[in-house]
Amino acid sequence: MLQNDVMLKDAAVTLKIPASLKKQLNARAATSASTRKRARFLGRFAGTPVPTDADIQDVRERLWGKLTRLRNA
């Protein structure tokens, strides 16, 4: 799918998938979330905190917001 001038950058995309695949994906997501170990950095970044999903989302929103402002300026 290519983006065009009419499509918003934050537009949601809806996919229709078979129910069996949806159940399989949901089961996999539930098991990976419950068995997920605390991530840690190695090497140069060892000992520094690993960003959470919320941290990453916050940075993305700030970057995209800045790019949008720069583009419209």
- Label residue 33 by pLDDT band (50, 70, 90): low
Q: Which residue has the tokens 């078979």?
A: 18
pLDDT of residue 34: 59
What pTM was estimated for this model as a whole?
0.36
- Label residue 66 by pLDDT band (50, 70, 90): confident
pLDDT tens digits for range 36-53: 666 777 888 888 888 888
Distance (Å, whole) CA 18 – CA 22: 6
DSSP conformational letter for 37: P
pLDDT of residue 14: 80
pLDDT of residue 1: 53
Q: Where are the domains of the chain?
A: 19-72
Q: Which two tokens stand for residue 29?
A: 């997501």
